[in-house]
């Protein structure tokens, strides 16, 4: 006899090592969510004892063990195949949910049938504001980078948040960060889920682009907040060169899928220029400050230099194929 699936949302938590963080994430969901939900943990072939720890600590949770690391997109798709609920909540394991975040997002997406994707605001563990949405990669965005328009708005939002003057609201955006995405399951299925050509970065932007092309809206609701640790050491100032190269490669892949050859060439040149200028500017500022601020500027300058190298040197062969 067929029984009705009573869960309104299936929550897919992607796990890779760090069982303690996954457990904290799930416990925060359990403590803060009143809606009828089901949790699916997809362990991406963690090389340690993560899967066994999760099974013993969270026996009520369905743990799906991948035989190999399928990347973020692949892991999400594996979890989505097990989902029967009308909504999917995709979550990193390094996220802590605050009171009513998931319930509020569910209310938002159900209030407008044209909203297919929504996500919350995010903050670091320190409580400082974090980028959780933005424009899709494009020539216009590259020009915004050149003139520091995006950095200006992000800095203003951060300062307003610190001064407790920033009032969050819901608004249409190009993409929401893949750390937390609430998605209509029928739209996810119609678009064949995440594109597994993207191993870790930019898969959410690609998905949101396809959502918009299908005529649906992507909405960010910064009135509700999650804490996102962003992999601890992988915060902006500590990105490794290989992370940066992977990030740049993923953006080039996005551009290949959605933009013309001429647009791609212009974007690459603009991003190279932006990275160079930004690196030099931050290094210049570091001469006039001391202590932690000096270290912060120098660290960010080094990161932007690595971005410049990724755009201009490491990707030379790739760009020539465009």
pLDDT in tens, 94-128: 999 999 999 999 999 999 999 999 999 999 998 88
Residue 29 binned pLDDT confidence (cut-offs 50, 70, 90): very high
Q: Is the pLDDT of residue 168 over 60?
A: yes
Listed range (77-91, 210-224, 226-240, 281-295) with the worst mean pLDDT: 226-240
The residues pairing with 64 across neighbouring beta strands, listed in sequence order, are 42
pLDDT in tens, 144-160: 999 999 889 888 888 88
pLDDT in tens, 207-239: 999 999 999 999 999 999 999 998 543 445 457
250-277 mean pLDDT:
93
pLDDT in tens, 174-196: 999 999 999 999 999 999 999 99
**Contact assessment for residue 196 and residue 74, using Cβ atoms and an 8 Å cutoff:** yes
| pLDDT above 90 coverage of the chain, percent | 82
DSSP string, 28-71: HHHHH--S-EEEEEEE---SSSHHHHHHHH-TTSEEEE-SS--H
Look at the domain 9-137+164-227 and name its fold: Spore Coat Polysaccharide Biosynthesis Protein SpsA; Chain A (3.90.550)
Predicted pLDDT of residue 321: 62
What phi-psi label fits residue 112: left (phi over 0), alpha (psi between -120 and 50 degrees) or beta?
beta
Mean per-residue pLDDT over the chain, rounded: 92
Q: Per-residue b/e over 62-98, b at no fewer than 16 CB within 10 Å?
A: ebbbbeebbbbbbbbbbbbeebebbbbbbbbbbbbbb
Reference 230, options 166, 180, 271; nearest CA is: 180
HSE, CB side, 13 Å, CA atoms: give it for residue 322.
Answer: 24
Predicted pLDDT of residue 3: 58
């Amino acid at each position: 006899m067929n029984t009705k699936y009573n869960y309104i949302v299936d929550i897919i938590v992607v796990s890779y090592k760090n069982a303690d963080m996954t457990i904290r994430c799930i416990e925060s969901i359990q403590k803060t969510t009143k809606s009828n939900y089901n949790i699916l943990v997809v362990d991406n072939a963690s090389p340690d004892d993560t899967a066994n720890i999760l099974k013993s600590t969270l026996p009520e949770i369905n743990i799906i063990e991948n035989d190999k690391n399928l990347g973020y997109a692949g892991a999400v798709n594996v979890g989505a195949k097990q989902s029967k609920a009308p909504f999917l909540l995709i979550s990193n394991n390094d996220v802590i949910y605050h009171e009513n975040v998931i319930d509020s997002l569910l209310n938002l997406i159900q209030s407008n049938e044209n909203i297919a994707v929504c996500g919350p605001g995010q903050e670091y563990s320190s409580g400082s504001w974090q980028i959780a949405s933005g424009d899709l990669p494009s020539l216009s965005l590259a020009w915004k980078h050149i003139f520091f328009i995006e950095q200006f708005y992000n800095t203003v939002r951060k300062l307003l948040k610190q001064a407790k003057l920033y009032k969050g609201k819901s608004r249409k955006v190009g993409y929401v960060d893949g750390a937390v995405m609430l998605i209509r399951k029928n739209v996810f299925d119609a678009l064949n889920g995440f594109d597994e050509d993207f191993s870790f970065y930019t898969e959410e932007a690609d998905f949101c682009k396809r959502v918009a092309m299908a005529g649906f809206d992507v909405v960010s609701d910064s009135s509700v907040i999650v804490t996102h640790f962003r992999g601890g050491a992988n915060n902006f100032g500590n990105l490794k060169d290989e992370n940066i190269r992977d990030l740049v490669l993923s953006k080039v892949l996005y551009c290949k899928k959605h933009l013309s050859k001429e647009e791609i060439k212009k974007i690459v040149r603009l991003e190279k220029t932006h990275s160079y200028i930004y690196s030099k500017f931050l290094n210049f500022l570091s001469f006039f400050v001391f202590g932690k601020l000096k270290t912060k500027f120098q660290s960010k300058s080094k990161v932007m230099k690595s971005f410049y190298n990724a755009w201009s040197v490491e990707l030379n062969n790739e760009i020539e194929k465009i």
